[in-house]
Amino acid sequence: MYVEFLGVPRQRAGVAEMVVEARTLGQLLETLSSRLPALAEVIAGDRLHPSFAANLNGDEFISDPGTPLGADDCVLILSADAGG
């Protein structure tokens, strides 16, 4: 599956996107946290820090670590305070 970083998460990750294997949102975040230590401010365990948000395929916003993910899914990680 794909992960796409936007805004500050992209700054932290140092890349715009990457491919990751994960079956749930929680697994995905734990994997990202171990592969990209610079995301420490963005990810806390198997959840995002409240200042950041995850979106599935540009459709629904997801926060439950147990949310299932498929191989073709794309998870967007962005700042929660859109706008301004």
Where do contacts with another protein occur on this chain (CB under 8 A)?
Answer: 4, 6-8, 10-11, 41-42, 49-53, 55, 58, 60-63, 76, 78-84
Please tell me the distance from the alpha carbon of residue 60 to that of residue 31, in angstroms, as a whole number.
22
- Please report how close the Cβ of residue 35 comes to another protein at its closest, in angstroms: 20
- Please report how close the Cβ of residue 27 comes to another protein at its closest, in angstroms: 19
Please tell me the distance from the alpha carbon of residue 47 to that of residue 53, in angstroms, as a whole number.
10
- Please report how close the Cβ of residue 25 comes to another protein at its closest, in angstroms: 11
Beta carbons within 10 angstroms of residue 34's beta carbon = 10
Q: With contact defined as beta carbons under 8 Å apart, do 12 and 48 qualify?
A: no
Q: With contact defined as beta carbons under 8 Å apart, do 25 and 33 qualify?
A: no
Output 27 or 79, the one with its CB closest to another protein.
79
